[in-house]
Amino acid sequence: MQTEPQQKSELKKACVNCGAELLYAPGTTELKCEYCSYTQTIAPSEGGFEELELQPYLDALGSQSHSEVITMLQCKNCGANQHIEENYKSLHCVYCSSPLVIEDAHKEEWILPGAVLPFQINQSKAHQIFQKWVSGLWWAPNKLKKASLDPQNTKGLYAPYWTFDAQLFANYTGQRGDYYYVTVPYTTTVNGKTVTRTRQEQRTRWTPASGNISGFVDDTLIKASKQKSGVIPQKVAHWNLKELKPFDSSYLAGFVTEKYTIPLQEGHLESNKEARKIAERWACRDIGGDTQRITSLNMKLTNETFKHILLPVYISAYRYNSKRYNFFVNGQTGAISGQRPYSFWKIFFFVLFILLILGVIIYFANQ
């Protein structure tokens, strides 16, 4: 019986010794052959990664030299767009394990990644982290614990994000609040008698404030994909962007790469919201005092640039009682998070056991 081919990567690089596929070895700058152990160094980029000027891309939607046409499959269940290889007849979505059929493939233009954060832990280590986490879950179904034994359920994915840089300038008006304390009398009852005592209560003295702030907003991170469910949780979505490498497709070998589904324009709007939050924090710091109020803030962003970057995450998808659960491991830090199912019967029998113990205690207490 012919077995279904295993999902590997969106680009294949052949070993010069045996012809097998070279895969990126997490935590290194090498490609490695799983069969003959041949290694090939990924040549470092001499120019570093490039920040692209934002406005031309907003106008042309990526139809310039930094874009290309690639083959994509969209998951009809969760909406994730994934790179595929032409020789695969069928494969499964990393997020929800739904079948992806090669006949549904279509061509799309995308803005090339400007940088990639290579995986720092391999699949085996990520699976160990997942196993340890599952083993510590109370009331987890036995099926989940059995599923965690199979490392094939843990898959590596490069998730797409936008980063935005800009020079920020803003003027603001508001109020500075300084705390002070006053002595306030109050009555209370002591030994059946009403007595008067005093206590210190905090008050705030408000004074008008206004001023200008400016600074550089660096690497505002905005997610560039969305699904019906299976969203990477905040606990996992923290990477050290100082470790970004100039984009080289060699880092993708052996992993699935997701295409962005949130367009550049929408990502830019989200980055503006984040920039405004930053401006408000800067204004509060500029006002000083113990607390602050911002009544108006006029913000301007100039010299805006952006990057399309790929960040590493391992995903395990699990279905229990017709509901899908996703578990995520950060491919750089090893942080883990996710939803988890509960076993009704384990909880039921535990409650029954507790009631039985209480019943025995009450019985003997009444004797």
Q: Is the pLDDT of residue 161 over 90?
A: yes
Give the pair of three-digit tokens for residue 244.
């970004």
The mean per-residue pLDDT over the stretch 197-208 comes to: 95
Q: Which of 162, 185, 207 is the endpoint of a domain?
A: 207
Give yes or no: residues 238 and 182 share one domain.
no
Q: Which of 207, 231, 250 is the endpoint of a domain?
A: 207
Give yes or no: residues 155 and 188 share one domain.
no
Alpha carbon 361 to its chain's center: 50
Which range (8-17, 165-174, 258-267, 301-310) has the least confidence?
Answer: 8-17
- Parent domain of 21: 13-174+208-352
CA–CA–CA angle 96, 100, 104 (5° rounding)? 140
Instruction: Tell which wins on pLDDT, 193 or 349.
Output: 193
Listed in sequence order, the residues at least 6 apart from 88 whose beta carbon sits closer than 8 Å to its beta carbon are: 5, 7, 102
Q: Can you tell me the distance from the alpha carbon of 347 to that of 293, in angstroms, rounded to the nearest whole number? A: 49
Give yes or no: residues 292 and 347 share one domain.
yes
Give yes or no: residues 19 and 80 share one domain.
yes
Q: Is the pLDDT of residue 114 over 60?
A: yes
Q: For residue range 27-86, list pLDDT tens digits in order.
A: 888 888 888 888 888 877 766 666 777 777 766 654 334 566 666 677 777 777 776 554
Give yes or no: residues 107 and 234 share one domain.
yes
Residue 106 domain flag: yes
Q: Which of 166, 189, 207 is the endpoint of a domain?
A: 207
Give yes or no: residues 59 and 180 share one domain.
no
Q: For residue range 257-289, list pLDDT tens digits in order.
A: 888 888 888 899 999 999 999 999 999 999 999
Which range (165-179, 294-308, 327-341, 349-363) has the least confidence?
Answer: 349-363
Residue 309 domain flag: yes
Residue 226 domain flag: yes
Residue 305 domain flag: yes
Give yes or no: residues 198 and 100 share one domain.
no
Listed in sequence order, the residues at least 6 apart from 313 whose beta carbon sits closer than 8 Å to its beta carbon are: 156, 157, 158, 159, 232, 236, 328, 329, 330, 331
pLDDT band at 10 (very low <50, low <70, confident <90, very high): very low
Which range (17-31, 54-68, 112-126) has the least confidence?
Answer: 54-68
Structural domains of the chain, count: 2
What are the CA-CA distances from residue 237 to residues 46, 184, 223 (Å)?
A: 29, 48, 9
Give yes or no: residues 179 and 249 share one domain.
no
Residue 64 domain flag: yes
Give yes or no: residues 284 and 160 share one domain.
yes
Give yes or no: residues 202 and 214 share one domain.
no
Q: How many CA atoms lie within 13 A of 245 on its CB side?
A: 20
Give yes or no: residues 146 and 272 share one domain.
yes
Give yes or no: residues 139 and 77 share one domain.
yes
Residue 2 domain flag: no
Residue 4 domain flag: no
